[in-house]
Amino acid sequence: MTDMTYDVIVIGAGPVGENVADRVVRGGLTAAVVERELVGGECSYWACMPTKALLRSAAALRAARQVPGAREAVTGGLDVAAVLRRRDSFASNWADDGQVSWLGSAGIALHRGQGRISSERIVEVTGPDGATTTLTARHAVVVATGSSALVPDIAGLREAAPWTSREAAAAKAVPARLAVIGGGVVASEMATAFASLGSAVTVLARDGVLPQAEPFAGELVTTSLRDAGVSVRPGAEAASVTRDSNGTVRLTLTDGEQVEADELLVAVGRTPNTLDIGLDRIGLKPGAWLTVDDTLRVLGADGTPAGDGWLYAAGDVNHRALLTHQGKYQARAAGDVIVARAKGEPVQDGPWGRHVATADERAVPQVVFTDPEVASVGLTAAAAEAAGLRIRVVDYDLAAVAGSALHADGYTGHARLVVDEDRQVIAGCTLAGPDVAELLHAATIAVVGEVPLDRLWHAVPAYPTVSEVWLRLLEAYGRSYQATTP
């Protein structure tokens, strides 16, 4: 057994854990990360990067086919093998040498194995060879273990060896028939990807497609999926699943209908990776999400910091916003606050404080890379009303913008602003259409910066671009141009 001491120990070396460690090292502290799988985590190998690589080739082909002149130059379909090779390259062929090298260059120590908290500020690491290393943190332990795909309790489902997001992202071959349980982001993106790669896809979307988004977004994506040959079944729910000796998966729905497929993807949510990290040793519940304050310090059942405040949790594991960019945002905040507290410096709190994560509540940006793309930030109309805001909803047809017509023939899309009428600022924005992902950050700045509508009149969109929709939305809102004083 080996004993080692660092200022900060991070359990989990995904993008969140890497950013926490980097931030504290930049602040003058020492840090170590503990990782049981690949350094770089879910996003690098089984989520963000490989899945978007799977989607990109088909999106580029669709874009070319929507523009005369380019359309005529396209003489064939997708080269599936080339798509999969490109996907593999973005997943670094599931090798983490590059990420490990970066840790070394950043001055961050790596301990491979399963990390478990054994007592206050103590983490025991069981390595691949069974040897145990005891790590002691002078100031903080950070849990950044992320989440895994949730497999629901459907009769026979686990025995049928379904795909989760990991298997879908890393698939070595395209199944002739793919069934998908779920209608959220992963389900919609993978249905889009595999339909474009040649699978006959059936989506069993009990709660509809993209149920957490504005309704028009789910409607546009549903229409597009069906146009691509996908069988989208809103309200459909699996009651049982079997896989026969030939590998065929048979799903029996709650209404008695049967669906057959060669592979089954389950995409119905996430569960925290906290079952085997020693939470029971410090009075917390194994397998549960970790509740944190805005400085990312873990709270106990009574709402006060666990222990004396040495334990932090960032990323998916705290269930605030299960998105890589939000986890990295939390990581920066957590790293800064750990350094400040270690040095005895005051912690800046409040909505604009350096040491707090507040964007997770009402200013989360997200892109769903379906066809069409769905880009959103802030609150939907339904969420804003549920939060008690007095709102006005402003809609505009993206196809009516001059830049959209230039972008693609037959451009179809929609834009919505949710305006907080009492404060005269944007509380939410959703855009659905080809390539709207690149419009999102302007909306994010408007929401986070709480830019008054009167000031937005002075943010003049370039013509002819799709961004002209901002002017059209303001016109639709109905407030006339007003000269304002900066």
Q: Would residue 205 count as lying in a domain?
A: yes
| Confidence (pLDDT) at 68 | 95
In this predicted model, what pLDDT tens digit does every residue of 215-240 receive, in sequence order? 999 999 999 999 999 999 999 999 99
183 and 256, same domain (yes or no): yes
247 and 284, same domain (yes or no): no
Whether the pLDDT of residue 350 is over 60: the answer is yes
Q: Which residues pair with 265 in a beta bridge?
A: 163, 180
390 and 437, same domain (yes or no): yes
| Predicted model pTM | 0.94
Q: What percent of the chain is predicted at pLDDT more than 90?
A: 93
In this predicted model, what pLDDT tens digit does every residue of 2-35 receive, in sequence order? 789 999 999 999 999 999 999 999 999 999 999 9
Number of domains observed in the structure of the chain: 3
- Nearest 5°: CA angle at 371, between 367 and 375? 20
Whether the pLDDT of residue 344 is over 50: the answer is yes
CATH number at residue 202: 3.50.50.60
Top pLDDT among 351 and 308 is at 308
112 and 257, same domain (yes or no): no
CB 392 within 8 A of CB 477: yes
In this predicted model, what pLDDT tens digit does every residue of 127-184 receive, in sequence order? 999 999 999 999 999 999 999 999 999 999 999 999 999 999 999 999 999 999 999 9
| Confidence (pLDDT) at 348 | 77
**Environment class of residue 276 by beta-carbon count within 10 Å: exposed (0-12), middle (13-18) or buried (19+)?**
middle
The whole-number average pLDDT for the span 357-380 is 94
Beta-strand ranges (E) seen in 191-344 are: 200-205, 231-234, 238-243, 249-253, 258-261, 263-266, 270-272, 311-313
183 and 213, same domain (yes or no): yes
In this predicted model, what pLDDT tens digit does every residue of 408-447 receive, in sequence order? 999 999 999 999 999 999 999 999 999 999 999 999 999 9
Task: Give the three-class secondary structure for 200.
Answer: strand
264 and 288, same domain (yes or no): no
**Environment class of residue 69 by beta-carbon count within 10 Å: exposed (0-12), middle (13-18) or buried (19+)?**
exposed
Q: Would residue 82 count as lying in a domain?
A: no
CB 303 within 8 A of CB 331: no
Task: Give the three-class secondary structure for 49.
Answer: helix
Tally of residues, the chain: 486
| Confidence (pLDDT) at 480 | 42
Q: How confident is the model at residue 65 (pLDDT cuts 50, 70, 90)?
A: very high
Listed residues 268, 295, 320: the one ending a domain: 268
Element (H, E) at 55: helix 48-65
The whole-number average pLDDT for the span 285-311 is 94
Listed residues 250, 268, 286: the one ending a domain: 268
Element (H, E) at 327: helix 324-342
- Give the residue numbers spanning the domain of 213: 158-268
200 and 224, same domain (yes or no): yes
Q: How confident is the model at residue 353 (pLDDT cuts 50, 70, 90)?
A: low
Q: Would residue 76 count as lying in a domain?
A: no
